[in-house]
Amino acid sequence: MNIETVPVTKQSLTGYSTVSIGFEVSSKYAVEQVKDGLGFILREEKVEPPYWMDYDVIDEEGPTRWLKRFDTAAWCLLLAHEDGKLVGGATVAISTPGVFMLDDREDLAVLWDIRVQPESRHSGIGIQLFNEVTRWAKTKGCRQLKVETQNVNVPACRFYAKQGCHLGGINFHHYTKNPLTADHVMLLWYLEL
C-alpha cells in the first residue's frame, strides 16, 4: 500500500470524498454518569435494528465543505492507494483559527477525519494512516493528538483505544442541533505524542 501526502484542494477533497466514511451501527456505548456526575461508565448495548450511519450524507457536501469553512493551509491530507485504487484517507488539522477542537493550542493536532473503504477495512490501512498522522503531527511540533468520535461508532472507539488513545472528554450536547444525531454523544480521545 502507498500513502501519499497531497495538498488540501477542492480536487483532492473531491477524490477523498469517494472513500466512504459510513459504518453500520449494530451497538453503541451508553454513557452513564456515576458518583453524582463525577465519573462515567461506557456500557456497550446492542442496537436493533442495526442501521447505516454516514456523516457525509448528513453534512451533504462532505469534505469539500471544509474549504468554505476553514483555512486549511496548515492541514495535512493523506491518501492511501492499493493496487492503484484509492482505499483510504486521513486529514489532520493544526494551527487553524476558528477550529474549536484545537483549543487555541499550537502543540495540539486534531485527527479531523479518517476513512477506509468498507471492503478494505480490517486490513491494516487505518493503522497505517493513523501512524502516518502521528508521525506528521510530531514533525510539526505537536505534543498531543485529539480525535473526535461518537458513542454510536463502537468500532472507531475500539480502534483508537488499540492505538493507545485514552478517553479524555465526553460531550452529551454537541450533536443536539441535528435531529439525526441528537442522541449521539461526542467522545474525545487523546494520544500523547
Annotation: CATH topology of 2-192: Aminopeptidase (3.40.630)
Assigned C-alpha cell, 67: 474549504
| Model pLDDT for residues 76-132, shown as the tens digit of each residue | 999 999 999 999 999 999 999 989 999 999 999 999 999 999 999 999 999 999 999
For 95, the 3-state DSSP assignment is coil
Between the alpha carbon of residue 123 and those of residues 81, 128, 141, the distances in Å are 13, 10, 30
| Model pLDDT for residues 12-32, shown as the tens digit of each residue | 999 999 999 999 999 999 999
What b/e sequence results for 94-128 when a residue is b if at least 16 CB atoms lie within 10 Å of its CB, and e otherwise? bbbeebeebeeeeebbbbbbbbbbeebbeeebbeb
**Full-model pTM:** 0.94
